[in-house]
Amino acid sequence: MTAAVVAALGLGAVIGVLLGVFGGGGSILAVPALVYGVGLPLSAAVPTSLLVVGISSAVAVLPRLRARQVRWRIAAVVGTVGAAAALGGTAVNRLLDPRVVLLGFAVVMIIAGARMLRDDDHAGGDCALPGSEVNWRSCLPKSIGVGVVVGFLTGLFGVGGGFLIIPALVVLLGLPAPVATGTSLVVIVLNSAAGFAAHIGEVELDYSLAGAFALAAVVGALAAGHLAIRLPADRLRRGFAYLVFAVAVFVAVQVLINPATA
């Protein structure tokens, strides 16, 4: 077993655990892990990340299905609208300095994390009602708005779908943190599938490394997913907020200290 495969197994497990517990974190960390940990070029790391994150997110959502922690209609609206809006964000991304994009991404994460820590009672509202009780006259415009904003920012920043989706679902739509986590996983699957399809044919993937990374991520996501559904909602929300802060600081420091790699 090569060093690259061993690294892929270890880092894949970490990505899977993050997805299983928080419903996010995998997409923003998978690319750096594949580039710096596994040794893939960025051109191959991006589609490999999309493939792995999509598969592991699909697996991570399974325990949450049994716990009824997914709002399927909201996920469909946010995911579909977001996939379209991401095209616009991607176009704008190509016009901006990468350092500006990354610093902007860090700022957005800090704002989102602060909102999740500050608002203890933002869960509730028309979108948070179960199943057929949702008032779609009020919830649908909000869901479309979240899809547009999250999709555009995901396309603009190129990473971090889960970091943007979960705060939006909690703060803007009022979903409880566990439901927001499960719903975000479905959205991530849709976005990852669309992104991977857009990259097919651009570069030849190393499917042995991708397979090792995906296998470890799936195992980590399943194990963490069963644990996460038993965690209190407030602890889950706060834990995710602190994780957002940590990644925001890491991104900002990397840009300021080593701007040539941004």
What would the pLDDT profile of 165-217 be if each residue is shown by its tens digit? 888 888 888 888 788 888 988 888 887 888 787 777 777 888 888 889 989 98
- Side chain identity at residue 238, one-letter code: R
Range of 149-163, 201-215, 224-238 with top mean pLDDT? 201-215
User: Alpha-carbon Rg of the chain, whole angstroms?
Assistant: 17
pLDDT at 49 over 80: yes
pLDDT recorded at residue 99: 78
Tokens of 182: 């499960």
Residue 193: partners with Cβ closer than 8 Å, 6 or more residues away: 54
- The secondary structure of residue 168, as a DSSP letter, is I
pLDDT recorded at residue 262: 52
pLDDT at 240 over 60: yes
- Lowest-confidence segment of 19-33, 90-104, 169-183, 189-203 by average pLDDT: 19-33
pLDDT recorded at residue 36: 80
Hey, how many other C-beta atoms are within 10 angstroms of the C-beta on 216?
22
pLDDT recorded at residue 160: 52
Of 166, 191, 156, which Cα lies nearest the Cα of 53?
191
The pTM is what?
0.76
pLDDT at 63 over 70: yes
- Pairwise CA distance, residues 56 & 218, whole Å: 5
pLDDT recorded at residue 77: 93
pLDDT recorded at residue 95: 85
End-to-end CA distance of the chain: 32
Average the pLDDT over 22-36 and give the result.
73
Beta carbons of 63 and 212 less than 8 angstroms apart: no
- Pairwise CA distance, residues 180 & 191, whole Å: 16
- Lowest-confidence segment of 5-9, 50-54, 112-116 by average pLDDT: 112-116
Tokens of 26: 């995998």
- The secondary structure of residue 230, as a DSSP letter, is T
Average the pLDDT over 65-78 and give the result.
87
Exposed / middle / buried, residue 144 (Cβ in 10 Å: 0-12, 13-18, 19+): middle
- Lowest-confidence segment of 69-78, 205-214, 225-234, 248-257 by average pLDDT: 225-234
- Pairwise CA distance, residues 107 & 102, whole Å: 9
pLDDT recorded at residue 76: 92
Beta carbons of 16 and 221 less than 8 angstroms apart: yes
pLDDT at 25 over 70: no
